[in-house]
Chain A
């Protein structure tokens, strides 16, 4: 696999890779994708689902509730007064 493709995939996946990692992952991905290409020979069913067993939709009326105290959630985050701090967007 071309190192340029690995760089592109890494950029999409938000990973910064060193040159050594790019070389190593290029070889790894090539080997594994070659193995995946076996699937070209497989006869797949015409229908498929996203779960291996039938899952019925579970619907309910919306109701107001609070299962977890927001203070507990923000305890894990970088906060400033009552705000959560994050990196700049633009």
Chain B
């Protein structure tokens, strides 16, 4: 890690737009054991933290988020902040205020979102480890589209102190890398209780002992509306699990999965609309203008000029869902549905070690196709990644096939706190399936 390495990153960034900010130089006289990046919604004292939003332009936090601090203390060099959808609002990283990251396998296609820059950085840089954040699939989706491994730990496993919140009951900090062994090395560093985040203080011990994967459940509800290329790759992966890894695979039914997506969007937008109330031109980033204005005008002007379209849309949706008269119909019902989804997963995971599905219903789309997608179809694209996120269950996306050179991902879901089971499964999978990375790199 030297000036030449940073020059290489700059040159890659010109082509792929994966970092929203990069280190200028390596601190002199210091030695680092590894290089890592942080998604731009994790606070860092030496880089701006803008969460992909223009409203946070210029915001430089006075502290590091706990996962970032722990990575530095373990000998990591933070090389930059990775590009993302504004506040995590998106599936393709096309909602960033700082350019659109491009897929290393095909620059005309999306990296996925919202941790798009993180997945692309790992795909392009051997040995790199990227801190990502998932609310409804923002680690699994880009891992699938960029052909890397993405681990979303149990809700509460990794401290969120210093995270720019999207949905507090959903946000999880995780890791992306090229292999499960790298994830297994760095997860213990960022995991563990942190008094600054009470949700991290109720966790059970992280166990990474190797576990034999006995049986995997495939929910039939997840196999509808899957592109044939993905279906073929997933079916082949299931054959490999059965034949090479001697895992029993069984189709099951989890009816509540059908309702996970609307429940997620109600909760996520409700929580986002309150979290984003703090961005009003006073404390963070973009400053409001004339202070002689009434506060309503001052706040509204800054917010209207600096939030992107998707942020405005989600604020409106969340505000509406929480209004008197709709709260019971939407918000409270969504909380109840989440509990049903958790119970249904628990029922299936009593008899099976893991639940497996494809990660995304299609390979990474071209930007021209994304422009033509209807809003509801964009939201529906998350229907496989949302259920474990809604339920706070740990999950991992591993590459499981390629269609026309574009990677396809398989998502494995485990019981709460069983990250070790996921890493065991991914490690065994890597013994049976060879990952590919773009040749030109």
Binding site for B on A (CB under 8 A): 5-6, 9-10, 12-17, 21, 25, 28-29, 31-33, 35-36, 38-58, 60, 67-69, 72-73, 75-78, 84-90
- Which residues on the B side are within 8 Å of A56 (C-beta)? 201-202
Shortest distance between the CB of B105 and any CB in chain A (Å): 31
Which chain A residue has the least Cβ–Cβ distance from B289? Answer: A87
- Which residues on the A side are within 8 Å of B368 (C-beta)? none
Within 8 A of A (CB), among B232-273: 256, 258-259, 262-263, 265-266, 273
- Which residues on the A side are within 8 Å of B315 (C-beta)? 13, 15
Shortest distance between the CB of B296 and any CB in chain A (Å): 7
Shortest distance between the CB of B167 and any CB in chain A (Å): 11
In angstroms, Cα B300 to Cα A16, docked, is 6
- Which residues on the A side are within 8 Å of B5 (C-beta)? none
- Which residues on the A side are within 8 Å of B392 (C-beta)? 51-53
B32 at the interface (CB under 8 A from A): no
User: What are 5 inter-chain pairs, A to B, with CB distance below 8 A?
Assistant: A31-B376, A35-B262, A46-B336, A50-B169, A86-B298
- Which residues on the A side are within 8 Å of B62 (C-beta)? 68-69, 72-73, 75
A-B contact count (CB 8 A): 176
| Contacts A14-B299, A52-B169, A73-B62; A39 near B320 (Cβ below 8 A) | no
Which chain B residue has the least Cβ–Cβ distance from A59? Answer: B198
Contact A29 B320 (CB under 8 A): yes
| Contacts A32-B265, A39-B259, A44-B339; A9 near B319 (Cβ below 8 A) | yes
Within 8 A of A (CB), among B302-345: 303-304, 307, 312-313, 315-317, 319-321, 323, 329-330, 332-340, 342-343
Of A15, A41, A43, A90, the residue contacting B300 (CB under 8 A) is: A15
Contact A14 B282 (CB under 8 A): no
Which chain B residue has the least Cβ–Cβ distance from A71? Answer: B62
The 7 closest A-B pairs by CB, nearest first: A44-B336, A52-B392, A87-B298, A45-B339, A72-B62, A42-B259, A48-B335
| Contacts A53-B392, A68-B62, A87-B294; A45 near B336 (Cβ below 8 A) | yes
B199 at the interface (CB under 8 A from A): yes
Binding site for A on B (CB under 8 A): 59-60, 62-63, 154-156, 169-170, 195, 198-199, 201-202, 256, 258-259, 262-263, 265-266, 273, 277, 280, 282-285, 287-288, 291-301, 303-304, 307, 312-313, 315-317, 319-321, 323, 329-330, 332-340, 342-343, 374-376, 379, 390-393, 416
Contact A58 B198 (CB under 8 A): yes
Which chain B residue has the least Cβ–Cβ distance from A5? Answer: B320
Contact B293 A88 (CB under 8 A): yes
| Contacts A45-B343, A52-B338; A36 near B330 (Cβ below 8 A) | yes
- Which residues on the B side are within 8 Å of A50 (C-beta)? 169, 335
Which chain B residue has the least Cβ–Cβ distance from A47? Answer: B339
Of A17, A29, A48, the residue contacting B317 (CB under 8 A) is: A29
